[in-house]
Structure 1
């Protein structure tokens, strides 16, 4: 009886219905997008514990059974929110890797490319939303290790692999000398954003200008070990490529 009444109420909220009585595909997509947007806002404003399925459903104008059917429970809903945020955080890395594939002969120096990329990563990873999610994950990691593992698998691991792909192209062109691009990617990400993100997560005030200067110095230190001997630079300038691996 309660479920039927809930469905009737949902029908009165203006969703376009198919002949079978369910929302049309476009209406369902719109509903799910709104649900994720609302859940994101509430998780960021209230934290994980203080955000309820009731509040999300009411604010998003959907029924509780709809939320449970779509995501299972609050952890499932938070995981869906986290996946979308991770995709947004990874976008600059994916764009840089794609650009490198189609524009390996860019006039920009390796240092400039890495600095531009580092600045984007710093801005995104030190944003209020990113820090809020980091704090939620830290607080919930022990109780819900699968959510923390999701952040590692779909966040950090993909960030490393995408950065490694970026470095692969630089190595293939002779611009960098790296024994292991995966380890190099981990090192680069930790050097460029690790410190600033950690300070922000702990709530320790810092100036973004100072963080950017730290990033620039870190990139120069990274390149000091990644460029290799002078003869490699001369070969790269002459257009010579390293032997195929």
Structure 2
């Protein structure tokens, strides 16, 4: 396997460890989506990533830690800080729609819903690393662009960004949104909240 073939003698460098961690996060996604959370064994996760189970324990603690880190990495590029160059409420809302309606995150959402009756902590972890994180980012952007009184609109805006389309995605009756469609959905949501005049971002 790639990770084993590229093994070098001695302790790996910081760069090599980071590359290994990224590979584990990327390859574990397909295992979780195919096998489910409970069905995905550490042996399968390690084999897909080209590492040993000991490496998973070392880097992430256990399967739950690996899953949380994987979800965090998938969501990480969405809710960047409000001071990032050129970032606006509109661009943030567009990213949220585009990624949350993506095949990867919809697949994980379905997985978590199926497992949540037996593993409520999995649902809490998923929510904290995705929805709660995005709502916080929206709140910051709303306050920055429309004043502190607009901050409490964040949960409502997030619900509008998911909307009926996301429910249809979960049911498998609608495909993922394109970037252009994601922006239209984001702009419509902002317009419904009376924030349409700020749609120049």
Q: 1:216 to 1:34 in 2, by over 3 A?
A: closer
Q: How many residues align?
A: 193
Classify 1:118/1:32 alpha carbon distance in 2 versus 1 (closer, same or farther; 3 Å).
closer
Distance 1:134 1:186 in 2: 18
1:118 deviates by 3.5
Alignment partner of 1:222 is 2:193: yes
1:181 aligns with 2:166: no
Gaps of 5+ in 2: none
Moved more, 204-213 or 156-165: 204-213
Which structure has more RCO (C-alpha within 8 Å, separation ≥ 6)? 2
Contact 1:137–1:147 (Cα < 8 Å) also in 2: yes
Q: CA deviation at 1:213?
A: 5.7
SS in 2 for 1:90: coil
1:148 to 104, 117, 123: 123
Q: Cα gap change, 1:15/1:167 in structure 2, threshold over 3 Å: closer, same or farther?
A: same
Q: Deviations over 1:137-191 (max 9, x none)?
A: 112223222222222323222212211111112234xxxxx74512x01111111
Secondary structure at 1:44 match in 2: helix
> Which is higher, the Rg of structure 1 or of structure 2?
1
Deviations 1:165-224 (A, max 9, x none): 11112234xxxxx74512x0111111122332222112233685888766544332211x
Residue by residue, what CA displacement relative to the aligned partner does 1:25-65 show, whole Å, maximum 9, x if unpaired?
33322222222221122223433233221122122221122
The unaligned stretches of length 5 or more in structure 1 are 1-10, 105-112, 173-177, 228-232, 234-245
TM-score using structure 1 length: 0.65
Instruction: Specify the alignment match of 1:123 in structure 2.
Output: 98
Compute the TM-score of the two structures, normalised by the length of structure 2.
Answer: 0.77
Q: Determine which of 154, 157, 162 is the counterpart of 1:193.
A: 162
Report if the CA contact (8 A) 1:122-1:192 is conserved. Answer: yes
State the match for 2:62 in structure 1.
73
